[in-house]
Chain A
Amino acid sequence: MSPVLEIRNLNVALPRGGAGKVSVLDHFSLTVAPGEMLCLVGESGSGKTIAALSIMRLLPPGAELTGEIRLGGQDLAQASEAEMRRVRGKRIGMVFQNTLAALNPTQTVAAQVGEAWRVHEGGSARAARARALELLGEVGIPTPAARLDDYPHQFSGGQRQRVMIALALACSPQLLIADEPTTGLDPLVATQIMALIARLRRERNMAVLFVTHDLSVVRDHADAIHVLYAGRSVEWGPAKNFFIQPRHPYSEALLGAVPRLGTARLQTIPGALPEPETRPPGCRFAPRCGYVQPNCWPDYPPSSCAGDTETACLYPLGTTTHQAEASAAPPSGRSFPLQLEARSLTVRYSNRLALSDVSFSLGRGECLGIVGASGSGKSSLGRAILQMQPYGGQVMLNGQDFSVLRGAAKRDARRRLQVVFQDPRESMNPRMRVSEVIAEPLALQGENDTTARVAELLTSVGLSPDMATRLPATLSGGQAQRVAIARALAANPELIVLDEPTSALDVSTQAMLLNLLKDLAAQHGLSYLLISHDFAVVSYMADRIAVLKEGQIVELAETAKLIANPGDDYTASLIGAARP
């Protein structure tokens, strides 16, 4: 069977700054057969999105592209803009992440889905509307006829992604490119979206190129895996082999970094991804590789074949399993002296109840996980504990009720509660340097000479003290989150509320951060309130887990007991979505 898409030796260079271009994707080759789902896996900066956009020829202006991109008989790399317009949407459909931004906010979904069809097939507005209705039904929008004239913001995140898929399918393309379609969705919803894509490709015998950084979402559906690291392919072959035995050390590290139920310690990859300008001449993973040999450095390793899997590594991994051994969850039944207590917390927004009558306690040194889908009230819970929004009920810290505290006593109590937010760069003042960000809580405590303390805090979160002069925009996501943790530690807190601390990060960065947080808790005797939609992350960190649904705790139990014996169907489905 002839492939739908065949990429040969694709190179992409992007303009950087004033002078010259920098190569971001080198010697990239890949083949997708009809009905096949190929997953292009890589972390931020690996070049995976650039590869996807190259196929559509939607690269930013000034990009330089060489090589062949064959779709059927046509070489898209040589196609004119007019020819590409007939390919886009017609023969290749593309699904993007962050659908709130990727759909036009001021057009109805009928108009947007219909347009995709009408641009290529012509036809009347009425016919386009009928086609939109048919497509929305096919992607599983309930009562599609009633929703045709709704706008994107009136749909939930998962439904918006379904609309996005309907739009990409409008002209029944041979190939669907999905660029991180599940990123930012709750795991349960992500599972549904994956199942939808899998069903559609079966029904339509459509090839799917699935671009993702998250191996756990594609495990069940991928036929083939292609791993990119720093702009080059490191391993590609059938998915089945890949998950049983990754051949490249990077693949192995990436798999080890994914938190799974029962993982005792996540594997981390030391160091950081090299910038495109400073990529080593030889194997690009060499500086971070645990198996590195002297001859890895001079030249990029040729690929070698084992079974159907190809690996660009001189020393591909053997047949022994290196995967993290699944050991028991953290020892249960540890007892903690009481530190924080929430009694019948209630948070009400103008027209709805975000949190109703939630009570729990948290011990000193304990990590309590709060799991729930978007809109379950988990962020409201965190903000209420932090005294950042009005609430009903009581929050008691060390036996003292916040509502009776005033003035300096209240400020001191609030200092003991610190927070780390989801988006570290957004939550820092872009004009403040790292040193100022960290020194601010110190200054509030009346410390004058903060330089030494800032350096110490940076070191304790695994950053170099040289970072002190940087601005937030120049930090990577992982570095920025470390700074945010250092800022929280600067206040010398007893409890840190972690509100989705890693959900904006790559898996390998997430692994490093979670391990760091664990170590810090042990060193400083910190307690955590960890808020997340990712059950696997929470189960890795938490001593006890509270499952929040529609503003109420449906279940609260020790992690191991909860996983072994979920007492609620909703909990069971969350655990199911997190299970490998």
Chain B
Amino acid sequence: MMGMVLRRAASSCLSVFILVTLVFFMAHLTPGGPAYSILGQKATLASVAQVNARLGLDQPLLKQYGIWWWHLAQGQLGYSYLLNRPVSALLWGYERNTLIFYSIAIFLSTVLAILLGLIQGVYFNRWQAKLIGAFQLGFYAAPPFFVAAMLVLWFSVQAGWLPASGITNLRAEHPSLGAYAAHLVLPVITVTLLTVSPLSRYFGEAVHEELGKDYVRTAQAKGVGFTRILLAHVLRNALRPLVTMLGLSFPYIFTGGVIVESVFNYPGLGWLMWRSALSQDYPVLIAIVLVIGLLTVIGNLLADIVNGLLDPRASYE
């Protein structure tokens, strides 16, 4: 088990290295360069050269690449000229909001996916499964902004139960936990609804497949009841593909999150990314791409480790 974790961790490090390198060179491919975004499109060549020299952009590319690593190692992610703050300090608040938001959403969609998937797997091809399937297809096909807008329309505008946007009530000096939670409800429901569809569909298929396997028949022949077969035998075996899928769907969840956070004005990484893209704040954008990439790599590593715990064969040598 430890050997497997170490190997996966090593390959994750390689992924991070490739990610950091790609982000660096892609940033250098963008036309114009940072000087123009600082000085504006009408800047003179001389002032551009001056800014470039100050930023170190006149250095050889490989040297810049080395500096980039050196700064990253120190936790420096650059400086946002538009917001006039170091990026690393800027990111932290947004990152925390995003982590809270997604942890809850991913937890809820996993639990819901397991429940729905179990029903779907057990009632495969029967009306119960088909009903769930119809909802899955609907939410899978629905664009995130549409689902978000509809929820706001029903629960905030018409019913007035929940706040429509932001993170706290406007005039509150020290926001209460309750107010914070209330602001989280709609974004979390939106992301959960969008994420649960592919997850539960996949898990339902896995449950159905596992139920047809020989070891289920062996358990029946032992006299084990159906509920116990489902929970003690099938669940753990069917969870493996779900965990893999969950690990792989991290980027998808984040990109969906950009839209959801923007619609709800929720100050998370997605919202910041959208704002920075509009205002061409490259240092912030690059940092967000890095952070999201890093979270995806960590997500996959976690999925591998959980799978290793679920299935003894995965770590067997």
Contacts and interface: CB of A to CB of B under 8 A. Distances in A.
Interface of A: 56, 58, 85-90, 93-94, 96, 98, 101-107, 115-116, 119-120, 151, 153-154, 164, 167-168, 170
B209 interface: no
A102 B215 contact: yes
Given A58-B221, A88-B220, A88-B223, A98 B316 contact: no
Interface in B174-219: 213-215, 217-219
B310 interface: yes
B313 A87 contact: no
B214 A151 contact: no
A151 B236 CA distance: 14
A89 B221 CA distance: 6
Contact of A119 (B214, B218, B223, B236): B223
A241 to B, nearest CB: 32
B265 interface: no
Contacts of B228: 119
B223 A106 contact: no
B220 A107 contact: no
A106 B217 contact: no
Contacts of A164: 218
Contacts of B153: none
Nearest to B215: A104
A508 B186 CA distance: 67
B222 A105 contact: no
User: Chain B interface secondary structure, helix, strand, loop or mixed?
Assistant: helix
Contacts, number: 78
17 contacts: A58-B220, A85-B225, A88-B221, A88-B223, A89-B222, A89-B223, A96-B214, A101-B214, A102-B215, A104-B215, A104-B233, A105-B215, A105-B311, A106-B311, A106-B312, A116-B223, A119-B225
A87 B221 CA distance: 9
B224 interface: yes
Residue among B225, B310, B312 having the largest count of chain A Cβ atoms under 10 Å: B312
B169 interface: no
A491 B228 CA distance: 54
B223 A96 contact: no
Interface residues of B, number: 22
A42 to B, nearest CB: 20
B215 A115 contact: no
Contact of B237 (A106, A151, A168): A106
A104 B225 contact: no
Given A106-B312, A151-B313, A115 B237 contact: no
B236 A106 contact: yes
Interface in B265-317: 310-313, 316
A153 B312 contact: yes
Q: 9 nearest interchain CB pairs?
A: A89-B223, A89-B222, A88-B223, A101-B214, A94-B221, A102-B214, A116-B222, A104-B215, A151-B312
Interface in B41-88: none
A87 B223 contact: yes
A103 B316 contact: no
Contacts of A98: 214
Contacts of B220: 56, 58, 88
Nearest to B313: A153
A88 B226 CA distance: 13
A105 B236 CA distance: 10
A106 B233 CA distance: 8
A102 B219 CA distance: 9
Contacts of A154: 316
Contacts of B313: 105, 151, 153
Nearest to B218: A102
Nearest to B236: A106
B191 to A, nearest CB: 30
